[in-house]
A = this chain, B = another copy of it.
């Protein structure tokens, strides 16, 4: 049975936020919400009559500030985050293999997929995988800051994500070309960063990218470690 998430887009940072709706259509979780879209996202929950059970993060983002803290405050949801990201105020610290339960019968499985950051995770729900900045459509997250590691990313993608069924829909954390969703099978065959590249080649490629420092990183990472709330809030 094909069950898709609701995919929301932030045009400033090209970030995808996802709402996963339980089978009873009254409870939901949200993945990677963005601060300045908080009212928009609350309006979506209200319009659809959804009670938010969890706010999930795939990692501590460097390019935008999360609205997790604010959403938690307004909705009473719990924050669940990867344990390796230093997001200490979250109620639930997730490790590889953990299961998040919501609604009458929903299960989200946590896959630790380090590389973009050391703590990064992916989430599995109803046969979909939410890959954050680990695996993008025809790309992958950068690995040159915030405890990133090209070796770890290569291992996470080829050793973990690529072992999922080929038909698994891949919902990335960003896209910069108007794309929305891919599949594991397609990325295994076509991803330009990873296909036909040894781990060594991949690490060389990533080291040579020479990307500029993200504009927001010095603000975003500390803020995101506090769920997007100002210190002491």
A residues lining the B interface (CB < 8 Å) = 1-11, 21-23, 25, 37, 40, 43-44, 46-49, 137, 167, 169, 177-183, 185-186, 190
Contact of A186 among B23, B47, B183 (CB under 8 A): B47
Q: State the oligomeric state as a number of copies.
A: 2
Contact of A11 among B46, B47, B178 (CB under 8 A): B178
Decide if B2 touches A21 in the complex (CB within 8 Å): yes
C-alpha spacing A47/B182, complex, angstroms = 6
A3 to chain B, nearest CB (A): 6
Residue from A4, A9, A40 with most neighbouring chain B CB atoms (10 Å)? A4
C-alpha spacing A190/B48, complex, angstroms = 13
Contacts of A178 in B (CB 8 A): 8-11, 37, 40
Contacts of A180 in B (CB 8 A): 6-8, 44
C-alpha spacing A49/B9, complex, angstroms = 24
Residue of B nearest to A40 (CB): B178
C-alpha spacing A183/B181, complex, angstroms = 23
5 new A-B contacts, CB < 8 A, other than A1-B23, A6-B180, are A1-B1, A4-B4, A8-B178, A11-B178, A46-B186
Contacts of A25 in B (CB 8 A): 2, 167
Contacts of A190 in B (CB 8 A): 47
Decide if B5 touches A4 in the complex (CB within 8 Å): yes
C-alpha spacing A179/B43, complex, angstroms = 9
Decide if A48 touches B183 in the complex (CB within 8 Å): yes
Decide if A40 touches B179 in the complex (CB within 8 Å): yes
- Counting from the closest, the 7 A-B pairs by CB-CB distance are A47-B186, A4-B4, A47-B182, A2-B21, A47-B183, A8-B180, A40-B178
Decide if B2 touches A181 in the complex (CB within 8 Å): no
Could you list some 27 contacts between A and B, CB below 8 A?
A1-B1, A1-B3, A1-B23, A2-B21, A2-B22, A2-B23, A2-B25, A3-B3, A4-B4, A6-B181, A7-B7, A7-B180, A9-B9, A9-B178, A11-B11, A11-B178, A37-B178, A40-B178, A40-B179, A44-B179, A44-B181, A46-B186, A47-B181, A48-B169, A48-B181, A48-B182, A48-B183
